[in-house]
Amino acid sequence: MSSDPTTTPVAPEVEQRVDSADTTLHNPRSAVVALGSNLGNRLENLQGAVDALEETPGVRVKAVSAVYETDGVGGPEGQPTYFNAVLVLRTTLPPHSLLERANAVEDAFGRVREVRWGARTLDVDILAYEGVELTQPELTLPHPRAHERAFVLAPWLDADPEAELAGHGPVAGLLAAVGEDGVRRRTDLALHLPQ
């Protein structure tokens, strides 16, 4: 924890990167991405997604939430539990290019899209992109169900305690409204920002 009184202390399971000057990006915007996995080595899948996004030209991972274990929502009965996390990015990629990269990362981890909301090795969803609201078949921003999902809101609040979801308000208030049933913070697990 920093001794600087102007910084907000964060839990040890939450990593944030603060750069005084990030020369790798020009005119970046903030984006928020949710990660989920309930097949294979769930923690390795999530960490692999963090690493792959950080390695993407035009993307810088700025904060990584704690890991949450959650019950499946909206999909087939009897799914294994998920590991979920949220990343805050700075990016120069436009939203559709970021979506293409997210899909490519999923594919690299063996994601199979056969059953809607079915079990998956890796899910990479864009929740929000600074200054962008759109509704298209392939991408809706902000994510149309983010405000209803504790497994998204709890880690998002970890990664950015001041976060707001456009059109819905502060993430802290949204999480308080939906509650945290079926969402358990795993203090024994952590994702790490790439060095």
> pLDDT tens across 61-119, in order?
999 999 999 987 666 666 789 999 999 999 999 999 999 999 999 999 886 665 555 57
Q: Which of 42, 90, 123, 158 is catalytic?
A: 123
| 125 noted as active-site residue | yes
Q: Which of 42, 111, 149, 158 is catalytic?
A: 111
> pLDDT tens across 135-184, in order?
998 999 999 999 999 999 999 999 999 999 999 999 999 999 999 999 99
C-alpha to C-alpha distance for 30 and 52, rounded to whole angstroms: 18
What number of other Cβ atoms are within 10 A of residue 143's Cβ?
Answer: 20
Q: Which of 17, 29, 51, 125 is catalytic?
A: 125
C-alpha to C-alpha distance for 195 and 9, rounded to whole angstroms: 20
| 51 noted as active-site residue | no
Give the CATH number of domain 25-185; options: 3.30.750.24, 3.30.70.560, 3.40.50.300, 3.30.70.100.
Answer: 3.30.70.560
| 113 noted as active-site residue | no
| Model confidence, pTM | 0.85
For residue 183, which phi and psi values (nearest 5 degrees)?
-125, 115
Q: Which of 90, 120, 158, 160 is catalytic?
A: 120
Distances in Å between the Cα of 23 and the Cα atoms of 19, 50, 97 are 9, 20, 21
SS3 14: coil
| 120 noted as active-site residue | yes
Stretch (H or E) spanning 97: helix 95-108
